[in-house]
Chain A
Amino acid sequence: MTFLENKAIQIAIKNLKDKLRHWQYLFFSLLLPILFTIMFYFMLGSEVDPSGRSYFDYGFPGMIIYAVGIGTMNAAIMFAGEKRSGMLNRLDTMPTGRKNIFLGALISESFLLMLQIIIMFIFGYVVLGLYFVGPLELFFGFLVSVLFGISAVGLGIMIASVSKTVEIANAFSLLIFMVLIFLSGSLMPFESPIVYFTPPFWAKQIFLQLTVLGQGLNDNLYSSSLIGSSAKVIPITIFGGLLIVIAFSIGFTLLGILIFQKKTKF
């Protein structure tokens, strides 16, 4: 069996075809974050602080996390659609295996997340010329965003499990995603301990500290404490924050799969 004949890969390819052939998806996932970025760019302006960085330099990591978080809705819609259309049941009558269905979905969603982040990077760092420490830090920021994206997919699977229709999954995931983004203080500062319980907060703070605030990866990763909104120091290193993001990703994904299995296997 070749790599391309692997069932999970075939499911991922099918998912990608399915998504990339919907203009609504392309607009919502790839273009809307750019439109939001432009809006925030004009809102925050290009005024610089004494360190020479603009307010938007500080805000852009939050925009990336917001864009990646849309994966929640994409996953919710996809799984609710498979459930609703009967395709999930049809695949269950074939030697496909749920394992391959979930793995395929994670592969396709991760690919799309990466595409989304790359587009945002090109737009922010190349087109708008925003500040970043260095390419290595940016690559690390990329990985953190992908990790966060996986937790967003996990959350989407959870929402799909309890949604009877695609429309409900769409509305429900939008609601949860927007509340989560607000509570995490990713787009606008939010002064509350609640932020620590949201995955976007950790992902955004690590991204911000590595690519905008820090002096370089070696100095930052193990020794520096994370700096929260309003410049409060959190007694957790960036590495510790990274472990929290990983824990959220694994936890949300496993929980999503477990709930989905429980709700769709009779």
Chain B
Amino acid sequence: MSLSKDSIAIDIKDLKKYFKEVKAVDGVSLKIKKGELFSILGPNGAGKTTLVRMLTTVLTPTAGDANVNGNSILTGKNEIVKKIGVCPQDITIYEVLRAEENVEFMAVMHGMSREEAKEKSRKLLEEFGIAGRKDWSKHFSGGMQRRLNLAMALIFEPEILFLDEPTAGLDPQARRLVWDFIRDLKNKDITIILMTHDMVEADVLSDRVAIIDHGKIIAEGTPTELKEKYGSDNALEISFLKQVDLELVNSNIQNIPFVANSSEITHKERKTLIISFQGGLKNLVKLLQQGIIDNIDEVENMKFRQNSLEDVFLNLTGRRLRD
């Protein structure tokens, strides 16, 4: 990767953290560009949180170094903490403080005046949909607490934001809401480091992804690159009504260049075709247009399984992310 020094937000060089015999982080090297949303994807216990804790200067590495915004984590702690925001995995808020009290406290800790802190926290909480709540934050719903947790990391407009499993334990609706916030942040040119074990989250949000397992980076690239390089083919399963000429349909499909293979299954008068093909959703549309459209009236059911980062992880490690 060729990057000019000024365009790098985080430069990790052979970073290691050992806890006695346990190699939590084992020689990680990465370069993260300014303004990029970079995900570190891995199962629980892979070393994601240890890596963040070193980058945010909470943990001292056993070996190696990293530059965060141009400052070494070994010698530049005081400068680093002025520029980073950290949203921890666990909801870390003062439960008997109100939302604005929590956020204002964080702002003053970053050296903001009380007036500025009040004004900014009001605006931020409005953006997050939790302004005006006068009750203590322990009474908030899980989603609201998660948003407050995030707001506390954003109040002083950090240049680099570390998000450690920001949607853990959220329902799908709240999860989408947090994703929207993250997308908005990306547009504000903040460098975001997202630690997650949720491959969909990493896939939909990230510019680039590094996959970590047993403390080592095992793959790195854009989600599309990773899926193309390490993933499986997409699979489309189509069930037809009995009058279709399945052999003819299949031979048409096999002539399409991006189709890897297709197989016919006939079971109790039900005719099914399973097609494996490469590429993204564009190829799915092409496949339907070129191979199925003439028999569309005979299609009874269709199932599509897209190549995902889960497949990438499975192919690289032989395990599922949640194993």
Q: How far is the CB of A86 from chain B (nearest CB, A)?
A: 4
B130 on the A face (CB < 8 A): no
Q: B13: CB under 8 A from chain A?
A: no
Q: Any chain A CB within 8 A of the CB of B293?
A: no
Do B84 and A93 touch across chains, with their CB atoms under 8 A apart? yes
Segment from A15-23, A43-51, A143-151 that makes contact with B = A15-23
Given contacts A92-B57, A94-B81, A94-B106, contact A21 B136 (CB under 8 A): yes
Residues on B lying within 8 angstroms of A by beta carbon are: 53, 56-60, 78, 81-82, 84, 86, 88, 90, 92, 94, 96-97, 101, 105-106, 108-111, 113-114, 136
Q: Which residues of B lie under 8 Å from residue A215 when comparing CB positions?
A: none
Residues of B within 8 A of A22 (CB): 96
Alpha-carbon distance between A28 and B94 when the two chains are bound, in angstroms:
21
User: Are B109 and A5 within 8 A (Cβ)?
Assistant: no
Note all chain A residues with C-beta closer than 8 A to B106. 94
Given contacts A14-B105, A86-B88, A266-B59, contact A95 B94 (CB under 8 A): no
The one of B101, B109, B136 that contacts A95, using a Cβ cutoff of 8 Å: B109
A90 within 8 A of B: yes
Q: How far in angstroms is the closest Cβ of chain A from B310?
A: 29
Using known A-B contacts A17-B96, A266-B59, determine if residue A86 contacts B90 with beta carbons closer than 8 Å: yes
Interchain CB contact under 8 A, A18 and B97: yes
B86 touching A90, Cβ below 8 Å: yes
Q: Mark A1-19, 1 if CB is under 8 A from B, else 0.
A: 1101101001000100110
Q: Which of A5, A90, A91 contacts B108 (CB 8 A)?
A: A5
B81 engages A93 (CB within 8 Å): yes
Complex Cα spacing A96 to B86, Å: 14
Q: Can you show 13 pairs from A to B with CB atoms below 8 A apart?
A: A2-B114, A5-B114, A10-B108, A14-B105, A17-B101, A86-B92, A90-B88, A93-B86, A94-B86, A94-B106, A94-B110, A95-B110, A266-B59
User: A266 to B24, alpha carbons, bound, how many Å?
Assistant: 14
Q: Which of A87, A92, A94 has the most CB of B within 10 A?
A: A94
Decide: B109 and A91 in contact? CB cutoff 8 A: yes
